[in-house]
Amino acid sequence: MLAYGKSSYGHWANFLSKHTGRSVSKQAIFGRMNTCWVELTKKLVETVLKQKVPMLYSSPLFSKFKRVLLQDSTCLALPDCLYRVYKGTTSKGKKKATAKLNLVMDVLTGHFASLSCLPFTITEQALSESILQIARAGDLVIRDLGYRAMKTFFTLKP
C-alpha cells in the first residue's frame, strides 16, 4: 500500500477488498498488526534486500574480515493516529507519526544482525552504542556519520 502513497487502515482494507473479492474492514487490518505481522514484515524486507543488494562473497576487498556490518536507518511515514507510539515531527501544528527503521546487515551473507522499528525522535547518534551488542573482533562496521559518538569509540576494546 505504501507504494501507492496510501497508508491508512481504511486504504489497506479497500485495496484488499478489491483484490480478494471479499469485504475487509479497517478494524480487521488493525487487529492483525501484531508481533507476528512485524516478524513477517522483517522477513519480507530481508528477502527483498537479499535479492536487490549484490552479495560480496568473492570480493577481495573484505577478505580480511569475518563480517562486514552495514548499519543505516530510514524513515517511514505512518498514519497520524500512531503518533503516541511513533513520535515524528510537527508540521503546521499537526503531529505526524514517523517510524525509524534501523538496520544492521552483514553484507557478506545478506543476513540481518538487527532490524528495529523505533520512533523517529530516536537519533542515529543515540543508536550508536547498539552496535556494541552486535560487533565482534574481526568485524568491519560501516555506517554514516550520523552514528558518530566518541563515547562508542572509546568503549570498544581490542
pLDDT tens for 111-141 read 889 988 889 999 999 999 999 999 999 999 9
Instruction: Give the pLDDT of residue 38.
Output: 76
**What ranges do the domains of the chain cover?**
1-33, 46-155
**Spatial separation of the C-alpha atoms in residues 87 and 104, rounded to whole Å:** 22
Please say if the pLDDT value at position 23 is more than 60.
yes
Identify whether the C-beta of residue 80 lies closer than 8 Å to the C-beta of residue 97.
Answer: yes
- With a threshold of 0.75, does the pTM exceed it? no
Instruction: Give the pLDDT of residue 125.
Output: 93
**Spatial separation of the C-alpha atoms in residues 26 and 155, rounded to whole Å:** 47
Say which residue, 156 or 123, is predicted with more confidence.
Answer: 123
Please say if the pLDDT value at position 158 is more than 80.
no
Instruction: Give the pLDDT of residue 56.
Output: 55
**Spatial separation of the C-alpha atoms in residues 106 and 113, rounded to whole Å:** 7
